[in-house]
Structure 1
Amino acid sequence: MRTPGMWRTVAAATAMAALAAVSGCTIQTVDPSASGSPGGASSPAGRSPADAKPPEPAGKKPAERSPARKKPAERPAPTVLWSRGDRSRDVRELQARLRQVQWLFEGPTGTYDASTVTAVKGFQGKRGLPRTGKTDSVTWQRLLRMTREPGRWELYASGGQPAAKPDPRCMTGRVLCVSKTSRTLRWMIDGRTVSTMDVRFGSRSTPTREGVFNVYFKSRHHVSTLYDSPMPYAMFFSGGQAVHYSSDFAATGYYGASHGCVNVRDEGKIASLFAQVRNGDKVVVHW
């Protein structure tokens, strides 16, 4: 025997079945232990399934960070060997080598002057080096590879060689003591050196005579009758050979030669010497 409550239950079930048939859906039993994700899969605590990170595609590795690039270490500046105002034998060699490559046309003087700065700048710029005008280690090595060891008279092409020790014959009286070894003239009085100056001599075909002589004639504005060339401040000591000023010596240095005379390159010094020397004073030309 069915009670009214049983009929109500049967009627409710029948109504729900009919509703499901109309909508096409089925009733799923939900596992109370699931967190609401389909198929009972659980999501991380506090995050919804939409927030979950999608899986990486098969065969693809996670992106790797490239290491930070290090800045290349700066090279130290080359050491400066010589610069304007320096004076030394090394500067003289630098100038002689610059003359060999035709960047310098004066000297060598041994003094790092404005002409040397200009020559070094030109040499550096031609070879892609910083145009500082200072000779650093890089510039010097490049110049060494392009030149040869300068000879003695290349180093003293315009004079500056220290005067040689006086010949014993120069130690008494008033003497023009001329050394072919150092290419210098000492004006000496009783063994004391009053002044020194650079000189040059004749070529092989017209050599300057050696020995002991005396000044026999002075001519302030002399002109050679044989070569038609000026011989200012001439002090003759052996035939047509004299000590005199030479503008060619002043301009070209030891790259030239006289016709046998003793040429002086410093006009101021020989002007002073000319005023002091007397006829009869001794002249000693020696090695």
Structure 2
Amino acid sequence: MRRTNSRQATGRGTARRRWGHISGGLILTLAGTLGTAVPAAAPATGQAAGPTAPAPGPVRQGTDEDGPDTARRSESECNLSTGPYQKDVERHLGLVVDGKQSAADCAAIQTFQREHDVVPAQGYAGLYTYRAVMWRQALAEGDAVRGCPDTSGVVVCIDMNRQVLWVEDAGTILFRPVPARTGSPDYPTRSGWFEIYKREKEFWSTLYDGPMPFAQFFDGGQALHASYRNIWEDPGSHGCVNLRYDDGKTLWDVLRLGDAVYVWGRRTGG
């Protein structure tokens, strides 16, 4: 049975829960880049934890993020093509919202991409950049972050629409929103109510022959765990919920066996 006692002051009330059944699942292989942690009870902006594992730089691959003619551009060269999320990115960055790329737009988007490890950082308003925007917007919502039902205790909230994860305790944010990568269309993360039923700090996937640091299983083989890949990139996972390494490490200290997990929405992209 899961714990129902709140770890903080009583929040906004309770809600009836529908618990998912634990079933067989798939486990993800990891490779990629180190992220930046948002501590569990952090103030408004996250602080980066010290390096905890060696990792290469951002993975470079051809994607929708690249835009036209990216292969002929250097990493620092601006891409003046209008991206599919141009207006959304312009609005978030306080630019003129006209849906048309300009040199000034490109420079501002490049700066945002570099600050958030979006690769390639060429100023193109593609899906990876939009995912970073959605995370920053969720972070800015504070305790009003939307989507997770009110409960009487701890619940891990996984919004697959925005690709973000946070933890609430009786309606109060216990772990601020962080970027997440859920399952690809071929291996979707299952939605519904679950519980953390197994935790293993140094789990190794025999199915995919790869590490799953700070693995916290909630539905068969599907787990919350740290990843060495760039968090924004496709493809999605094999059903697990990937986190940046330091976020996964911090989350390990926040959760316990029996904590609730609520998953909803649908991942956009691969």
TM-score, reference length from structure 1: 0.48
Residues 237 and 283 of structure 1 are in contact (CA less than 8 Å); yes or no, is this contact kept in structure 2?
yes
Q: Which residue of 1 aligns with 2:167?
A: 187
Pair 170,216 (structure 1): closer, same or farther in 2 beyond 3 Å: farther
Distance in structure 1 (CA, Å) of the matches to 2:182 and 2:264: 12
Which residue is 2:182 aligned to?
Answer: 201
Could you say if the C-alpha distance between residues 189 and 149 of structure 1 is closer, same or farther in structure 2, counting changes exceeding 3 Å?
same
Provide the rounded CA distance (Å) in 2 between the counterparts of 1:142 and 1:283: 39
Report SS of the residue matched to 1:254. Answer: coil
Match of 1:167? 147
Name the amino acid aligned to 1:241: Q
Of residues 244, 254, 257 in structure 2, which corresponds to 1:276? 254
Which segments of 5 or more consecutive residues in structure 2 lack a partner in the other structure?
1-62, 81-100, 108-121, 266-270
Q: Indicate the SS of the match to 1:226.
A: coil
C-alpha contact (below 8 Å) 1:224/1:230 kept by paired residues: yes
Equivalent residues of 1:242, 1:262 under 8 A apart: yes
Answer yes or no: is the 8 Å Cα contact 1:158–1:254 preserved in 2.
no
Q: For 2:64 and 2:217, how far apart are their aligned partners in 1?
A: 37
Amino acid paired to 1:234: A
1:97–1:260 distance in 2 versus 1, CA, 3 Å? closer
Q: Are the counterparts in 2 of residues 249 and 256 from structure 1 also a CA contact under 8 Å?
A: no
How big is the shift at 1:97? Answer: 9.8
User: In structure 2, what is the equivalent of residue 256 of structure 1?
Assistant: 235
Q: Please give the alpha-carbon distance, in whole angstroms, between the structure 1 residues aligned to 2:106 and 2:170.
A: 51
The change in CA–CA distance for 1:174 and 1:269 in structure 2 (over 3 A counts) is same
Q: Percent identity?
A: 29
Cα distance in 2 for residues equivalent to 1:176 and 1:280: 11
Deviations 1:125-157 (A, max 9, x none): xxxxxxxxxxxx9745999xxx99844444336
2:222 matched to 1:241?
Answer: yes
Question: Match of 1:232?
Answer: 213
What is the DSSP-based 3-state SS (H/G/I as helix, E as strand, rest coil) of the residue aligned with 1:284? strand
Summarize the Cα distance change of 1:205–1:150 in structure 2 as closer, same or farther, 3 Å threshold.
same
Q: Is the 8 A contact 1:222 1:232 kept in 2?
A: yes
1:160 deviation in Å? 3.5
| SS of residue matched to 1:202 | coil
RMSD: 3.6
- Quick one: which amino acid aligns to residue 246 of structure 2? G
SS of the aligned residue for 1:245 comes to strand
TM-score (norm 2): 0.50
Question: Residues 200 and 264 of structure 1 are in contact (CA less than 8 Å); yes or no, is this contact kept in structure 2?
Answer: yes
Change (3 A) 1:99 1:152: closer
Distance 1:262 1:141, change over 3 A: closer
CA shift in 2, pair 1:230/1:104, >3 Å: farther
Is the 1:98–1:104 contact (alpha carbons within 8 Å) kept by the matching residues of 2?
no
Higher RCO by CA contacts (8 Å cutoff, separation 6 or greater): 2
- The aligned counterpart of 2:196 is 215
The 3 A distance-change label for structure 1 pair 221 and 151 is: same
The residue identity in structure 2 corresponding to 1:231 is M
Contact 1:220 1:234 in 2 (8 A): yes
Matches within 5 A, 1:131-170: 139=103, 150-156=125-131, 160-163=135-138, 165-170=145-150
Distance 2:170 2:105 in 1: 49
Which protein is richer in helix relative to its size?
1
Aligned partners of 1:178 and 1:184 also within 8 Å: yes
Q: Which structure's CA Rg is the greater one?
A: 1
**Aligned partners of 2:182 and 2:237 also within 8 Å:** yes
